[in-house]
Amino acid sequence: MRILSVLLVAFALPLTASANEPATASEAPARVAPSVTVEPAARSEVQARVPVSGTIVARQEVQVFPQVSGHEITEILAEAGDSVTKGQVLARLSTDTLSALLEQARAEYLRAEAGVGQAQSTIDSADALLKQARTTLQRVRQLREAGTAAQSALDDAIAAEANARAQAASAADGLAVARAALAQAEAARRIAELNLDHAEITAPVAGVIVARNAELGALAGGGADPLFTLLADGAVEMSAEVIETALASLEVGDPAEITVAGVGPMAGQVRLVPASVDPVTRLGVMRISLDAKGIRTGQFASGWVITDRRQAVTVPASAVLADDSGERVQVVKNGVVETRPVRAGLLWNGRREIIEGVTPGEQVIARSGAFFRTGDQVRPVAAEGAGP
């Protein structure tokens, strides 16, 4: 009986100990889903931009050279920075020699004009002699036929008529020569008048003078530099360098946002696209017209050319994941993650355009989406200030 009691106690001890063991896995508390920051896909503006940098240059630079050379500059009537009108006198040259040359040309013209009159008189005289010689020849022939004139008289009359005819022809040629000399003298007179007029150096266009090389006492045309350099109408623009890979997207008329050193931001527009690329720098040079005053040639400028602007579906740029298999975003719906392949486009203001794969309003994981897979349970939390 005592042995039986001991055995019963021994068998009972394990049963009592198992009651104090920890709970099984099936009885563990429910796992809490991780929280993720989400933002909705939304329609917003996206832009494609090309960076540019360069220098402010004249849109059209006009160089003023003297039309006559070798004459002293006696007056300078304009300085760099002056605004001038078309035809305004900028400088004057000495006119002493030019005036004398004009008087000489006028005298030559008068002499040539007199020569024409003299040649015409010679023609009239030759014509009269020719008429007389022909009349005499006709009369002598009649007398010879009647037998009352000698053959020698007829021969003399024929020779006289031929001589008179030659003199008439020579007189006609002399008139042509005189008229040619008159035309030449008239051209020389006109040139002398123009040279005298060119003693006044005038502005060929309205604009702003940016450089003056003319000096009092210097001989005009003595160097290779222009006397004055003008900005036609005062218009300036940006000569901008752009990388060759962006050339295909550039078009005339594209808007630009430019910042000029010392002036600030201003609007612009592409006027000329690069026609070639430097083989060393791989850069092309374009021209951007600017809608502002108060800028000067030589100033540095930089900015952006906007090549595209449109409304599109966008998500935070950090929401788009990319690897060898392509681009994707993590869409959250009813607390469950779905990996969605997408086709992404432009990047603008921290948001990425989604061309295909996501519709407006769908929630996407804004950050750390690479740590989740399709089917994962998450607890979505709206990002602070979420939205485009």
Which residue did the predictor score with more confidence, 314 or 387? Answer: 314
Lowest mean pLDDT among 6-20, 103-117, 308-322: 6-20
Q: How confident is the model at residue 154 (pLDDT cuts 50, 70, 90)?
A: low
Q: What distance in Å separates the CA atoms of residue 251 and residue 336, rounded to the nearest whole number?
A: 46
Q: What distance in Å separates the CA atoms of residue 54 and residue 301, rounded to the nearest whole number?
A: 5
Environment class of residue 23 by beta-carbon count within 10 Å: exposed (0-12), middle (13-18) or buried (19+)? exposed
Read off the pLDDT of each residue in 81-89 and give the average, rounded to a whole number: 91
pLDDT at residue 22, rounded to an integer: 47
Give the residue carrying structure tokens 């060759």: 244
pLDDT at residue 30, rounded to an integer: 58
Lowest mean pLDDT among 135-149, 191-205, 219-233: 135-149
Element containing residue 161 per DSSP (H, E): helix 151-197
- CA 197 remoteness from chain centre: 35
Q: What distance in Å separates the CA atoms of residue 347 and residue 164, rounded to the nearest whole number?
A: 101
pLDDT at residue 29, rounded to an integer: 54
Which residues touch 333 (CB under 8 Å, ≥6 apart)?
362, 363
Q: How confident is the model at residue 301 (pLDDT cuts 50, 70, 90)?
A: very high
Return the structure tokens found at 54.
């360069």
Q: What distance in Å separates the CA atoms of residue 165 and residue 129, rounded to the nearest whole number?
A: 8
Q: What distance in Å separates the CA atoms of residue 214 and residue 221, rounded to the nearest whole number?
A: 10
Reduced to 3 states, what is the DSSP secondary structure of residue 215? Answer: coil
pLDDT at residue 171, rounded to an integer: 67
Q: What is the DSSP string of 98-164?
A: HHHHHHHHHHHHHHHHHHHHHHHHHHHHHHHHHHHHHHHHHHHHHHHHHT-S-HHHHHHHHHHHHHH
Q: What is the pLDDT of residues 272-296, one digit of tens each?
A: 999 899 999 999 999 999 977 778 8
pLDDT at residue 43, rounded to an integer: 94
pLDDT at residue 343, rounded to an integer: 94
Read off the pLDDT of each residue in 41-46 and give the average, rounded to a whole number: 94
Read off the pLDDT of each residue in 17-44 and give the average, rounded to a whole number: 68
Residue 381 has pLDDT above 60, yes or no: yes
The bridge status of strand 379-382 relative to strand 35-40 is parallel
Which residue did the predictor score with more confidence, 98 or 28? Answer: 98
pLDDT at residue 319, rounded to an integer: 93
- CA 193 remoteness from chain centre: 39
Q: How confident is the model at residue 111 (pLDDT cuts 50, 70, 90)?
A: confident
Give the residue carrying structure tokens 């005038």: 202
Q: What is the DSSP string of 32-58?
A: PPPEEEEEE-EEEEEEEEEEEEEEEEE
Read off the pLDDT of each residue in 151-170 and give the average, rounded to a whole number: 75
The bridge status of strand 42-58 relative to strand 83-84 is unpaired
Return the structure tokens found at 295.
């800028």
Residue 313 has pLDDT above 50, yes or no: yes
pTM comes to 0.62
Read off the pLDDT of each residue in 293-314 and give the average, rounded to a whole number: 91
CA-based end-to-end distance of the chain: 87
Mean pLDDT of the chain: 84
> Cα-flanking dihedrals φ and ψ of residue 51, to 5°?
-75, 140
pLDDT at residue 166, rounded to an integer: 80
Read off the pLDDT of each residue in 208-232 and give the average, rounded to a whole number: 88
Q: What distance in Å separates the CA atoms of residue 118 and residue 114, rounded to the nearest whole number?
A: 6
Q: What is the pLDDT of residues 237-247, one digit of tens each?
A: 999 999 999 99
Q: What is the pLDDT of residues 48-67, one digit of tens each?
A: 999 999 999 988 889 999 98
pLDDT at residue 385, rounded to an integer: 59
Q: What distance in Å separates the CA atoms of residue 230 and residue 233, rounded to the nearest whole number?
A: 9
Q: What distance in Å separates the CA atoms of residue 68 and residue 97, rounded to the nearest whole number?
A: 12
Task: Please list, residue by residue across 353-386, b when 16 or more beta carbons sit within 10 angstroms of its beta carbon and e when fewer do.
Answer: bbeebbeeebbbbbeebeebeeebebebeeeeee
